[in-house]
Structure 1
Amino acid sequence: MPPLPLPATPLRRSERKREPAPPALVGMITFPGSRFVIENGQRVAVEMFPTTQIDIERLTAYANHRLGIRYRYVATTLESFSWDPVELPLLYITGWTPMPKLPDETLDRLRRYIYDGGTLVVHAQCGRKEFVDTARRELARLFPERKLAPIDTDSPLFRSYFRITEMKVRQDDQPFKSMPPYLEAVYIGCRPAVIFSPIDLNCGWDVVNHPIMGGILYHQDYALAMGTNIVTCTLANLKYARAFATEKIFHGTYEKTRDRLVIGQIRHNGDWDPTPHGLPNLMKYLAASTTLNVQFKRDTVDLTEDKAFDHAVLYMTGLRDFKFSQAEVARLRTYLSSGGVLVADAAAGRRAFDAAFRREIKRVLPEAELKPIALDSPLFEAPFKVRTADYTEAVKASQPELNAPHLLGIDMEQSLCVIYSPYSLGNGWEQIAYTYNLGFSDEDALRLGVNVLTYAVTH
């Protein structure tokens, strides 16, 4: 018989126990495989998709130090990864050669991972065009119906820890120049679920500031600040992302004995549906809180379609800039002039949508002015008498004196035809806590929403 193994040597009382490994936050994706090239007349195997890990290691260490947290990164592959965002909340892909074309099955699993609450960060090492172009191709395949677009400068990604108003960037061997912060994203709800940088970040994380011919990169200090903000947002959005993924959208049952009011939600060329659970939840709350013998239902509409005029109330929201076409401007003007009501709010209170809405509604009704709705308006009288309003912590931090409901409107023939909130209503209607929401508290968002819809259908 083989000898029995020796017993484990017990620790002396003076010896410190090894601390458990910190939880993993970032999964650095590597792509296995190699190809052969000829170097100095010899056939040499090289990586199919070369990448580096020292950059994410140093960013993780820097973020841990600045934020007072304790996380680690791990190297993994798309073949071995569990696809569980609880295990790895953030996946990271970078490279300087063309990004491999992903199998459809892998794209399906990656898409599910992101919808389940995961975040994908992709950026071009050295800003190489060959990686940028192929990464855009893969992201378009990943979300063909969701637009990868520049992030507005009021995004939490530019203010979550460091307030970033400019970035210093160098192209080739030129001196560093200042530019506005730049990232692109695909949004799921109100969070940037896919974050893409065509400008190099990891050379800065790796403490490299020397020129790279054919490349474009951020200065080290700015790259580290941006990376820390990405980590901060990912951590802050974890609960929101998981709750958003599991929240069910309410669908009312049709009863023939009751009238139906179908509210049309406008599709526009921005992020038109960042709070998909909001309006259905509001309708459910309205049915339970009022005696209106009406069933509410949400429908999505294009302003250029005739069915937009089938709705007594239209609703729109968004996160980013958008622009109506001339045809949409004309149709919305006709709709409002014919007695329709438009209800709108800026999702998460984003300034980019707020500025766009004010600009576009001026195109629709150039002679009208968007004004604060007075507290003695019938809108604030029923079903709930509203004189004060509670806001989210994010609003209180910047405007602690704000305690009245701030809604704007446009009158037409002594009745409001446009009701707009620059503070989010929809996030409160969803009742999914979102750290960066500049809006009304959940309870007051619902109360105001009930009053707004009641006013819209009774005036």
Structure 2
Amino acid sequence: MPSPSPASRNKRNWLPTPPAHWKSNVPSAPPPTACPPSQPGEKRNATTAAPPSRFVNDHVRSCIMIRWPKSLRSALSSGARRALDPHANHRGYTHLTLGALSRYLAHTSRRHFLKLAAAAVVLTPRWLRAETRMNDACGPPPPPPPAQASGAEGLPPLPLPATPQRRDEKKNPPRPPVIAVKIKNGTVRDWATDLNDLNNLLVWMRATLGVNFTYDQKRLSQINLEAADVPVLYRTGHYEFEFSPTQRQRLRAYLLRGGMIIFDACCGREAFVKSARHEIHQILPDYPLKPIGVDHPVFNCYYQDTGNVRFTPWSRQQNPALRSPGPSRIEGVEVACRMAVVLAPHDLSCGWDLHTHQIPECTYIHSDSALRIGTNLLAYATATRDLSTSASESKAFVDADPVKTDKFRVGQIVHDGDWNPDPVGLRNLLDTVAGTSALKLSFEVEPIPVDAKQLSRFPFIYMTGHESFNWNKDQTATMRRYLTNGGFLFVDACCGRQAFDQSFRKAMSRVLSPLPGASGKLHPINAKHPLLTTFYQIDKVAYTQAAQHRNPERLRHDIPPLLTTQIGGRTAVVYSPFALNVGWRLHPVPYAVGYDAKSALQLGVNTVMHALSQ
């Protein structure tokens, strides 16, 4: 900035204005300030609070951080405080270095300097503190947790015996529950460059959700994963990493019991992303890692549509394929209708720490988008941690009645849209049918592809899923022949996912369109359809809270929104765009768009009985 003329030194209009981000409503504690850039040419993002980190020096630099008290703020103009540090924040904090002090002395008047000197003499013992910062740290560290003072007893001088005297000092409040543990791994330059990331995120959550949580930082060996009291593990970093076989086994058990792991590629480092994908596959080889759809509850459970994010302008320069706003490209692994692993290939942690960089080939999600995604992730994790059922604990249907000798085989369609999100649901339904009906049948479920030889073995097939899928021409023709030859297809969109719903409607349109008349498409079920009275008399159904929130107008009618197709005078297809599977598991699934457990079981039992009675 050019030096002002002597006549204008006392004017405020030439002084730099505060950064725009301090006018936002983003809460922060402590104020997310940092030392000024230590090297020429470093730039601050206009919406950030800390300068870019330079991964080149290991030395420690010191600076003085001042919080201007009211008396000193009244003695000094706001412009004079900003002259010491152009990035001083709205709460009066600033970092004072020798360079900043020399600049101030060169550009201020004698009167202002004398005010500063006099105030410093009086107020320095109370408001001046020195702090040491690592040059590699992107921002300041979070405040230490409050000391858990107990009501200790004081004793008078000897000789004993004596009566204890109670201390009357004020006690600190109890520590909030731990919602996440940040994993220490490798060097500090790898995992701890964003020292204030989780702290800022939890401050944001306290302001927006009204919840009070805290976090820990531990090595993986120090975390008691078996106690199931840590909802979220958080692993961020820049470099390649690898878990040991023992660590992978512990992490797998933790995830299957209901935990969540968030992997964040700090600065969008590709080396970290590759290692994370490899480790996720090693930990959960039987569950695929896929991009998370924008309609997934993790992007809509508190803030809506957080799957579409803003990337920083620098990120779009480094990767022109990024759209802003556009898909976050965050990937995940689902276990039993619950997101267990989240991988952010584009930086979230710097956004939580309220700053970004301009490092070549690095990409960042803007702070406002990153904070909303982080809030949703932690809210989702706390809501869903208890619903998980591990593969070893999944209920396998076993019919203990030896009289029921006839086997009724149910085929479950295998496709590329997450075909078996929750194996417990269908087994519970078949168990209910066997236990409540007079049919002497033993049920058996077998996964099958859309193949003519395989489909012909099953008079009843079931299909569900979360994601989109596609049938080729041969598979479409095979399904058409199966239905016209007497087969029965029962389908529901697991968790009410829109991606699966849209794919199934398109697939069935191609399957049914060549058929004549009303058989050529799906139709809403009518109140007199025999399916609604085959076993249970269903004249009204109830829905989950998520379904009522998403479709208030659509669900005013008592008739369930099922879609059916008649071929040759019989029901050939029954489809529910609202989830039935999650209701069959008899445990609430937060954020699932579907029927409640009672209505889901009644509709499921009636559908199976109706198919058997045709």
Is this a same-fold pair by TM over 0.5?
yes
Aligned residue pair count: 441
The 1:428/1:90 distance shift into structure 2, 3 A limit, reads same
**Does the aligned pair in 1 maintain the 2:452–2:482 contact within 8 Å?**
no
For residue 440 of structure 1, give the secondary structure of its aligned residue in structure 2.
coil
**Does the aligned pair in 2 maintain the 1:172–1:214 contact within 8 Å?**
no
Instruction: State the match for 2:359 in structure 1.
Output: 212
Please give the TM-score of this superposition, normalised by the length of structure 1. Answer: 0.89
**Does the aligned pair in 1 maintain the 2:287–2:333 contact within 8 Å?**
yes
Instruction: Tell me by how many angstroms 1:158 deviates.
Output: 1.4
Query: Counterpart of 2:297 in structure 1: which amino acid?
Result: P
Structure 1 unaligned blocks of 5 or more: 1-5, 35-45
The 1:379/1:88 distance shift into structure 2, 3 A limit, reads same
**Does the aligned pair in 1 maintain the 2:236–2:266 contact within 8 Å?**
yes
Q: 1:85, 1:343 → 2: CA distance?
A: 40
Instruction: Tell me by how many angstroms 1:88 deviates.
Output: 0.8
For residue 241 of structure 1, give the secondary structure of its aligned residue in structure 2.
coil
Instruction: State the match for 1:102 in structure 2.
Output: 243
Q: 1:444, 1:7 → 2: CA distance?
A: 60
Query: Counterpart of 1:426 in structure 2: which amino acid?
Result: N
Q: Cα deviations across residues 422-444 of structure 1 (Å, max 9, x unaligned)?
A: 01111111111111111111111
For residue 277 of structure 1, give the secondary structure of its aligned residue in structure 2.
helix
Instruction: State the match for 2:207 in structure 1.
Output: 65
Instruction: Give RMSD over aligned pairs.
Output: 2.4
Instruction: State the match for 2:182 in structure 1.
Output: 28
Q: 2:503, 2:459 → 1: CA distance?
A: 24
Instruction: Tell me by how many angstroms 1:308 deviates.
Output: 3.0
Q: 1:320, 1:283 → 2: CA distance?
A: 24
Q: Cα deviations across residues 264-296 of structure 1 (Å, max 9, x unaligned)?
A: 111111211122111111111112222222222
Instruction: Tell me by how many angstroms 1:326 deviates.
Output: 3.7
Q: Cα deviations across residues 29-71 of structure 1 (Å, max 9, x unaligned)?
A: 1114x6xxxxxxxxxxx86766543212211222233211121
Task: Establish whether residue 133 from structure 1 lines up as the match of residue 274 from structure 2.
Answer: yes
**Does the aligned pair in 2 maintain the 1:171–1:215 contact within 8 Å?**
no
Q: Judging by fraction of residues, say which structure has more strand.
A: 1
Instruction: State the match for 1:19 in structure 2.
Output: 173
For residue 180 of structure 2, give the secondary structure of its aligned residue in structure 1.
strand
Of 526, 529, 533, the residue aligned with 1:377 is 529
Q: 2:501, 2:227 → 1: CA distance?
A: 32
Instruction: State the match for 2:597 in structure 1.
Output: 442
Instruction: State the match for 1:295 in structure 2.
Output: 442
Q: 1:91, 1:249 → 2: CA distance?
A: 31
Instruction: State the match for 2:373 in structure 1.
Output: 226
Query: Counterpart of 1:106 in structure 2: which amino acid?
Result: Q
Q: 1:56, 1:200 → 2: CA distance?
A: 14
Instruction: State the match for 1:322 in structure 2.
Output: 469
Query: Counterpart of 1:403 in structure 2: which amino acid?
Result: D
**Does the aligned pair in 2 maintain the 1:271–1:319 contact within 8 Å?**
yes
Q: 1:55, 1:84 → 2: CA distance?
A: 26
For residue 387 of structure 2, give the secondary structure of its aligned residue in structure 1.
helix
Instruction: Tell me by how many angstroms 1:246 deviates.
Output: 5.2
Deviates more, 1:157-166 or 1:440-449: 157-166
Query: Counterpart of 2:582 in structure 1: which amino acid?
Result: N
Q: 2:341, 2:277 → 1: CA distance?
A: 11
The 1:374/1:85 distance shift into structure 2, 3 A limit, reads farther
Please give the TM-score of this superposition, normalised by the length of structure 2. Answer: 0.68
**Does the aligned pair in 2 maintain the 1:151–1:184 contact within 8 Å?**
yes
The 1:287/1:314 distance shift into structure 2, 3 A limit, reads same
Instruction: Tell me by how many angstroms 1:212 deviates.
Output: 3.3
**Does the aligned pair in 2 maintain the 1:126–1:217 contact within 8 Å?**
yes
Once the two structures are superposed, the pairs formed by residues 8-407 of structure 1 within 5 Å of their partners are 8=154, 14-32=168-186, 52-84=194-226, 86-98=228-240, 100-164=241-305, 166-170=308-312, 172=314, 174=316, 177-241=324-388, 248-253=395-400, 255=402, 257-304=404-451, 306-367=453-514, 368-398=520-550, 399=552, 401-407=556-562
Structure 2 unaligned blocks of 5 or more: 1-151, 156-163, 318-322, 515-519
For residue 471 of structure 2, give the secondary structure of its aligned residue in structure 1.
coil
Query: Counterpart of 1:446 in structure 2: which amino acid?
Result: L
**Does the aligned pair in 2 maintain the 1:384–1:447 contact within 8 Å?**
yes
The 1:273/1:11 distance shift into structure 2, 3 A limit, reads farther
**Does the aligned pair in 1 maintain the 2:404–2:441 contact within 8 Å?**
no
User: Which of these two proteins has the greater Rg computed from alpha carbons?
Assistant: 2
Q: 2:530, 2:489 → 1: CA distance?
A: 17
Percent identity of paired positions between Structure 1 and Structure 2: 32
Instruction: State the match for 2:35 in structure 1.
Output: none
